Amino acid sequence: MSWNEEWAAAATCQKSRPDELFVRGAEQHKAKVVCAACPVRAECLAEALDNRIEWGVWGGMTERERRAVLRKRPNVTSWRALLAAAKEAHLEAVETASA
């Protein structure tokens, strides 16, 4: 499974109502559960980080969590590139381990 350019169509949350994903407080934990098994979680997170999306749960992270990531790594110019490389490395490691 490589990087999905058309990630939104494959997102698990397509079956959810938007008001379930754009919530506050403890309700965000329920929204993050939707993301847990999503096949395009990294793509979604990259979209939110690259575009500094401020509201909702994206890629399994709340806006507060995304702001913390952005503060920790202010010099990242492309989260898409970083997360795509990490996803590819992970998939290669999984394939190697199962061979």
2 labeled binding residue:
no
38 labeled binding residue? yes
**pLDDT computed for residue 2 by the predictor:** 61
pLDDT > 90? residue 98: no
65 labeled part of a ligand binding site: no
Reported as a pLDDT band with limits 50, 70 and 90, residue 73 is very high
Its pTM stands at 0.85
Q: Is 10 flagged in the annotation as binding? A: no
- The predicted-structure confidence for 2-42, as pLDDT tens digits, reads as follows 667 889 899 998 888 877 778 888 888 888 998 998 999 99
- CA-wise closest residue to 21 among 56, 67, 69: 56
8 Å CB contact between 48 and 81: no
pLDDT at 63: 92
Q: Which of 78, 26, 31 is nearest to 56 (CA)?
A: 31
